[in-house]
Chain A
């Protein structure tokens, strides 16, 4: 089958890292990613199904892996070679349209009894991601044995599959996974109606976090930091009360929160600030700003996938900030529902198609990666592969 395969190569990885995310290097012959004919993944056991991807997104974490910016922390939690693509809509052999919840937890791996986290519904924290009939991997798209969304076919356990409502397009359905991440983050942030909430970043995760916060934990004021005009417009339409440019973040958050602003050497300092900040870029600079834009005793939720970053911990220490990660999804304690189900429900009213595009065929993966790396400047939010031609074939 046709697929893009990601191989493990330390020299290539270092080269990609040294190139600083340049698209022509990340998609060159020395790239970690290659298009080719690969074996169809085998069904690991009973309860597993074949899924033909329809639309599969190019996520920031995929780009980080391709450009050598992913954290080494994830390396032992990944098996190679793998086919990337963990946010996708697909179709089963019987024609049912589905989305795949990619986390490879105890249920997927057939581990009984499940680990304590999976038992609680916190499958993202599964302790058994190295066990069972499939290879090591946190998610489909980072596991050698399951295939991924950037190939003609993948395998998924029944517990991973969610049927897509008829009204939802393939494109919007593809965003179920990042939307679920954002809903999980919003619920971890747990804003109240008295809070000022800041979402730093307006890529796909930032925008979906804006939507999730507005839907599930509506605060007194929801501020979004957006770099590009199309991001600002989308942030407003998804529920942001105020959208500010990165260069104005300290000024506008200060005003919104009635804080005091002190001039700093590298960055300013707010005495006061947002009650809760969602950092949705994973960028070191943005993280450093986030901990300074959040009031003492406030909460910073890392939603965007961070790499190894230099962040000044002094504000975290001095402000007694609660810094927390928000990874993946599962069963949300506050609602008792599966996050994916909540995301599919929420998608109905969010008109998420507008966040997806342009679409590329797999054969134009170099253009797709280049476009995704420049998505903001190119007025795109989520670049994706269109595999429907392959499915029809």
Chain B
């Protein structure tokens, strides 16, 4: 049985603690009495994923078996989650590919000829052919790409239709092909509780006008947290939109979950607690540390982004969206949940090289904020690990570097918007519309591989609650000018940062380090 997550108190025998630091690592000695929260070990995966998938399709939750929904002459659309999860990407075969193969085979057996597959990218960048091939697998890719397997385009007016408005006035748009289909099968992979459910279709095949209904500063400020859907205004809005879609289109949901086996054998020590490191692990770490300290960022990035995670599938459920999602969340929580007693004055965390929006790309400074303060900080249930007015200390090089193809609007967001203000409300009211409607960003999104023009705003909004909740944010080891542009304080060492933090939280603060990734969900009393 997998070892559950744990909260360890730092004593004299505690070895230095690993902090992720972009495409590198730092070992830090935390003050005595600090707490380190470790994620659970990977739970045992399902032994025969294909068999489990077939079983889920034949015995769906509160829905008819898939084969009974398929008939000759029908129009079938299969939508699937994009590369923003899981993180790191999954070593082949990706569970989405396994599910899609079963669905495609079932459709073929039923004589369905009109089948199209759509990557539900929403306002994310369009995936390359190789990236799609990795998700769906060779057989499906070869059969369907590019005419019947493609990325959703949220900016093509002819390819998106208005389904209606919710009772709260939220517009609901959907990909035209999906809306005109007799059946939409949505294939999801849920990594954290924020994913999946109604959010999949409402967001993944929506467009700016529907996404902006809930991707607002106020909505995110009203979500406690958005990793716990029942307490999330964002998810409530997605549910309203999703229910409207379910009324208009017949949808069959398939959700999968994976364990947190996030690193391949070569970097397996990242999966372990430092006290468990063997001599071999220590040697591997030392070697990797030397390389990452010396190698240029591009080289390190190429190496890290080539790492694929050997996840194991922990659950697959099909059928009615709410029932399916409840089961999925059970599986996800089983893997991620760590009970944490009480809040703390200071939280420390290392931001790794990868977040949802820089797969095969650069984690630019805005994405550092999104990943560190938007996602990792918010991996809690009940209340944040850090108390209100407390301090978050993150470690990341925070270099001024951007991927010009993937993140053109991020560059401008950093140089034009953050130079003016870092206040999420002000940013939203003064700049969002201009970016969302910029013709060049639209062109780059539609014809290249760029995130939508509005995307950096959403990345920033994800951190809005953290910025409001915390008394200070300090970045250790970051480029000073960049950190200041982000509105944070810069420290050279963790010791300096802790001393600076004392000015906000007082002497002898309580400190908790979140040793993530692998990802975990802190259930705070």
> A residues within 8 Å of B by Cβ?
248, 251-252, 254-255, 258-261
Contact indicator A260/B440 (Cβ below 8 Å): yes
What are 15 of the A-B contact pairs (CB < 8 Å)? A251-B411, A251-B412, A251-B415, A252-B415, A252-B416, A254-B440, A255-B412, A255-B415, A258-B438, A258-B439, A259-B440, A260-B439, A260-B440, A260-B443, A261-B408
* Chain B residues closer than 8 Å to A259, beta-carbon distance: 440
Chain A interface, >50% SS class: helix
With both beta carbons as reference points, the residue of chain B lying nearest to A271 in the complex is identified as: B440
With both beta carbons as reference points, the residue of chain A lying nearest to B408 in the complex is identified as: A261
Chain B interface, >50% SS class: helix
Given contacts A248-B415, A258-B440, 4 further A-B contacts (CB under 8 A): A254-B440, A255-B415, A255-B416, A260-B439
* Chain A residues closer than 8 Å to B408, beta-carbon distance: 261
Bound Cα distance from A261 to B409, whole angstroms? 12
> B residues within 8 Å of A by Cβ?
408, 411-412, 415-416, 438-440, 443
Bound Cα distance from A251 to B412, whole angstroms? 7
Bound Cα distance from A261 to B440, whole angstroms? 7
* Chain B residues closer than 8 Å to A248, beta-carbon distance: 415
* Chain A residues closer than 8 Å to B438, beta-carbon distance: 258
- Work out how many contacts link A and B, with CB atoms closer than 8 A: 19
Q: How far is the CB of A262 from chain B (nearest CB, A)?
A: 9
5 closest A-B pairs by beta carbon, nearest first, are A260-B440, A255-B412, A255-B416, A261-B440, A260-B439
Q: How far is the CB of B450 from chain A (nearest CB, A)?
A: 11
* Chain A residues closer than 8 Å to B415, beta-carbon distance: 248, 251-252, 255
* Chain B residues closer than 8 Å to A252, beta-carbon distance: 415-416
Bound Cα distance from A304 to B1, whole angstroms? 76
Q: How far is the CB of B370 from chain A (nearest CB, A)?
A: 21
* Chain B residues closer than 8 Å to A261, beta-carbon distance: 408, 440
Bound Cα distance from A255 to B419, whole angstroms? 14
Bound Cα distance from A121 to B42, whole angstroms? 85
Bound Cα distance from A252 to B443, whole angstroms? 18
Bound Cα distance from A252 to B411, whole angstroms? 9
Q: How far is the CB of B404 from chain A (nearest CB, A)?
A: 8
With both beta carbons as reference points, the residue of chain A lying nearest to B442 in the complex is identified as: A260
Most chain B beta-carbon neighbours within 10 Å: one of A248, A255, A259:
A255
* Chain A residues closer than 8 Å to B439, beta-carbon distance: 258, 260
* Chain B residues closer than 8 Å to A254, beta-carbon distance: 440
* Chain B residues closer than 8 Å to A258, beta-carbon distance: 438-440
Bound Cα distance from A383 to B61, whole angstroms? 81
Bound Cα distance from A272 to B440, whole angstroms? 11
Bound Cα distance from A258 to B416, whole angstroms? 13
With both beta carbons as reference points, the residue of chain B lying nearest to A251 in the complex is identified as: B411
With both beta carbons as reference points, the residue of chain A lying nearest to B438 in the complex is identified as: A258
Bound Cα distance from A255 to B416, whole angstroms? 8
With both beta carbons as reference points, the residue of chain A lying nearest to B439 in the complex is identified as: A260
Bound Cα distance from A253 to B444, whole angstroms? 17
Q: How far is the CB of B348 from chain A (nearest CB, A)?
A: 34
With both beta carbons as reference points, the residue of chain A lying nearest to B413 in the complex is identified as: A255
Bound Cα distance from A255 to B439, whole angstroms? 11
Q: How far is the CB of A225 from chain B (nearest CB, A)?
A: 14
Bound Cα distance from A235 to B411, whole angstroms? 23
Bound Cα distance from A31 to B440, whole angstroms? 52
Q: How far is the CB of B480 from chain A (nearest CB, A)?
A: 15
With both beta carbons as reference points, the residue of chain A lying nearest to B417 in the complex is identified as: A255
* Chain A residues closer than 8 Å to B440, beta-carbon distance: 254, 258-261
* Chain B residues closer than 8 Å to A251, beta-carbon distance: 411-412, 415
Bound Cα distance from A248 to B415, whole angstroms? 10
Q: How far is the CB of B205 from chain A (nearest CB, A)?
A: 27
* Chain B residues closer than 8 Å to A260, beta-carbon distance: 439-440, 443
Bound Cα distance from A27 to B164, whole angstroms? 78
* Chain B residues closer than 8 Å to A255, beta-carbon distance: 412, 415-416
Bound Cα distance from A261 to B405, whole angstroms? 11
Most chain A beta-carbon neighbours within 10 Å: one of B416, B438, B440, B443:
B440
* Chain A residues closer than 8 Å to B416, beta-carbon distance: 252, 255
Q: How far is the CB of B439 from chain A (nearest CB, A)?
A: 6
Q: How far is the CB of B421 from chain A (nearest CB, A)?
A: 16
Bound Cα distance from A259 to B438, whole angstroms? 9
* Chain A residues closer than 8 Å to B411, beta-carbon distance: 251
Bound Cα distance from A260 to B408, whole angstroms? 11
* Chain A residues closer than 8 Å to B412, beta-carbon distance: 251, 255
Bound Cα distance from A254 to B415, whole angstroms? 12
Q: How far is the CB of B362 from chain A (nearest CB, A)?
A: 15
Q: How far is the CB of A151 from chain B (nearest CB, A)?
A: 46
Q: How far is the CB of B138 from chain A (nearest CB, A)?
A: 31
Bound Cα distance from A260 to B445, whole angstroms? 13
Q: How far is the CB of B453 from chain A (nearest CB, A)?
A: 11
Bound Cα distance from A252 to B412, whole angstroms? 7
Bound Cα distance from A252 to B417, whole angstroms? 12
With both beta carbons as reference points, the residue of chain A lying nearest to B405 in the complex is identified as: A263
With both beta carbons as reference points, the residue of chain A lying nearest to B416 in the complex is identified as: A255
Q: How far is the CB of B124 from chain A (nearest CB, A)?
A: 21
Q: How far is the CB of A343 from chain B (nearest CB, A)?
A: 33
With both beta carbons as reference points, the residue of chain A lying nearest to B411 in the complex is identified as: A251
Bound Cα distance from A248 to B419, whole angstroms? 14
Bound Cα distance from A254 to B444, whole angstroms? 14
Bound Cα distance from A258 to B440, whole angstroms? 8
Q: How far is the CB of A270 from chain B (nearest CB, A)?
A: 9
Q: How far is the CB of A171 from chain B (nearest CB, A)?
A: 33
With both beta carbons as reference points, the residue of chain B lying nearest to A252 in the complex is identified as: B415
